[in-house]
């Protein structure tokens, strides 16, 4: 692997990119997101504008119609969306899901799909991995794909597959060789690129799941779905490795989303604490209010530095698994502290939907659980960084 020099920018890197995102987000105020939250709706207009601006194609190489930008640039896009009070999660998956196709797909697959994804005529937002009975223990997944001539027949169920109802394509993880027939439990798992436009009603049923936040998540039922052999991404049986290959990028991008949410919550808390007068003085003059906000800011700045370090290592083609996991953990912790502090600062008004604090508070909570739980990050650090015995 070629290793480039590591460079870490401080301050507001990619200022033009940040400014462009802020201008877009200014057109989607709190009431837009409040309405979608109430309806469990999808921000179609917002995602379309991001797509038309080329922001969701940031990581797609120029030869396939994308911008060919480094991971840090993509992270800045997601950070600024959330820092502006908008929600990046309805669009973020396209940035890292397509990496599996880009790194492991055939040239024919890349030329068929990536230009259309970059142009926005195809949407790749759904990732079918998690199952009801296996959770994070991915090697135990039950979804099966059996080769029959020029097709695979797939049966199984996925859960918490976000945005499947708003995606044209879905990356699907399925076992092609039974677990009791492989040398390693990570073998025998394959990745498929499913065209949901054809599959829905022909072996695929998608049902929405109401959740704590409007994450457009679903459960996917697959029964005798026939897909062409050309839907296989990479080699049969190596899909688990392909998925792992993209997890560092996912965690770095999600860490940046966390930083953006944290910045939004701290900014709102500071503004309110400076304006809200109780007992003849702004509540922000009270240390009981001021100190939690200051602490949240300190912790968020530390998380931001780790996220930048992880992105710098990734872009330099250097190992970054530890940094990516630690960035996601620190950012998830920091943004949750910022969200809870903002809610407490607003007091009763924090619970009123018109202020947008309780919505962001709910959105910030998911980072403790997904895309990897804080406990699994600590298990990774304990085993792979500190050399402790495997704990699970």
Spell out the residues 6+ positions from residue 189 whose beta carbon is closer than 8 angstroms to its own.
Answer: 138, 139, 141, 173, 174, 175, 176, 237, 238, 239, 240
Q: How far is CA 169 from CA 116, 303, 305, in A?
A: 11, 33, 34
What is the distance between the terminal CA atoms of the chain, rounded to a whole angstrom? 30
Per-residue confidence (pLDDT) for residue 262, from 0 to 100: 98
Checking DSSP bridges between strand 204-208 and strand 218-228, what pairing results, if any? antiparallel
What phi, psi does 59 have (nearest 5°)? Answer: -95, -5
Tens digit of pLDDT for each residue in 54-73?
999 999 999 999 999 999 99
What phi, psi does 162 have (nearest 5°)? Answer: -70, 145
Per-residue confidence (pLDDT) for residue 272, from 0 to 100: 98
80, 131, 219, 250: the active-site residue: 250
Per-residue confidence (pLDDT) for residue 6, from 0 to 100: 86
Per-residue confidence (pLDDT) for residue 282, from 0 to 100: 98
Per-residue confidence (pLDDT) for residue 254, from 0 to 100: 96
Tokens of 89: 């999660």
Q: What is the pTM of this model?
A: 0.94
Written as one string, the DSSP assignment of 64-81 is: GTS----HHHHHHHHHHH
Annotated catalytic residue 250 = yes
Tens digit of pLDDT for each residue in 260-273?
999 999 999 999 99
pLDDT at 79 over 60: yes
Tens digit of pLDDT for each residue in 192-226?
999 999 999 999 999 999 999 888 999 999 999 99
Delineate the domains of the chain, giving CATH numbers in brackets: 15-123 (1.10.540.10), 126-237 (2.40.110.10), 241-385 (1.20.140.10)
Tens digit of pLDDT for each residue in 328-366?
999 999 999 999 999 999 999 999 999 999 999 999 999
DSSP label of 8: -
DSSP label of 4: P
Per-residue confidence (pLDDT) for residue 136, from 0 to 100: 85
Tens digit of pLDDT for each residue in 26-38?
999 999 999 999 9
Answer whether 100's CB lies under 8 Å from 280's CB.
no
pLDDT at 124 over 70: yes
Per-residue confidence (pLDDT) for residue 1, from 0 to 100: 52
Tens digit of pLDDT for each residue in 224-282?
999 999 999 999 999 999 988 789 999 999 999 999 999 999 999 999 999 999 999 99
């Amino acid at each position: 692997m070629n290793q480039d020099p590591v460079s870490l920018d401080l301050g507001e890197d990619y200022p033009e990119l940040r400014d462009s995102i802020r201008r877009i987000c200014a057109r989607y105020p709190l009431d837009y997101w409040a309405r979608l939250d109430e309806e469990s709706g999808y921000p179609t207009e917002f995602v379309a504008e991001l797509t038309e601006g080329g922001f969701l194609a940031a990581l797609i190489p120029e030869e396939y119609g994308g911008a060919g930008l480094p991971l840090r640039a993509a992270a800045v896009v997601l950070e600024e969306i959330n820092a502006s009070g908008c929600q990046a999660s309805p669009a973020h998956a396209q940035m890292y899901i397509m990496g599996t196709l880009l790194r492991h797909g055939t040239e024919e697959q890349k030329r068929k799909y990536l230009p259309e994804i970059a142009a926005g005529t195809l949407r790749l937002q759904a990732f079918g991995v998690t199952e009801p009975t296996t959770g994070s223990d991915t090697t135990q997944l039950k979804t099966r794909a059996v080769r029959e001539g020029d097709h695979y027949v797939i049966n199984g169920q996925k859960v918490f597959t976000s945005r499947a109802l708003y995606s044209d394509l879905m990356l699907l993880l399925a076992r092609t060789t039974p677990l009791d027939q492989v040398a390693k439990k990570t073998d025998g798992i394959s990745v498929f690129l499913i065209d949901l436009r054809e599959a829905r009603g022909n072996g695929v049923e998608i049902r929405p799941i109401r959740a704590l936040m409007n994450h457009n998540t679903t459960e996917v039922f697959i029964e005798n779905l026939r897909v062409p052999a050309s839907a296989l991404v990479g080699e049969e049986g190596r899909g688990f490795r392909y998925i792992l290959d993209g997890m560092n990028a996912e965690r770095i991008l999600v860490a940046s989303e966390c930083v953006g949410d944290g910045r939004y919550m701290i900014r709102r808390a500071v503004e309110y604490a400076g304006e809200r007068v109780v007992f003849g003085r702004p509540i922000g003059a009270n240390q009981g209010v001021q100190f939690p906000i200051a602490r949240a800011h300190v912790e968020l700045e530390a998380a931001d530095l780790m996220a930048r370090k992880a992105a710098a290592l990734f872009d330099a083609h250097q190992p970054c698994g530890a940094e990516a996991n630690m960035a996601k953990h620190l950012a998830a912790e920091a943004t949750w502290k910022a969200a809870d502090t903002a809610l407490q600062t607003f007091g009763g008004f924090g619970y009123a939907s018109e202020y947008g604090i309780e919505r962001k508070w709910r959105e910030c909570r998911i980072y403790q659980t997904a895309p990897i739980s804080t406990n699994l990050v600590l298990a990774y650090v304990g085993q792979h960084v500190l050399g402790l015995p495997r704990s699970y």
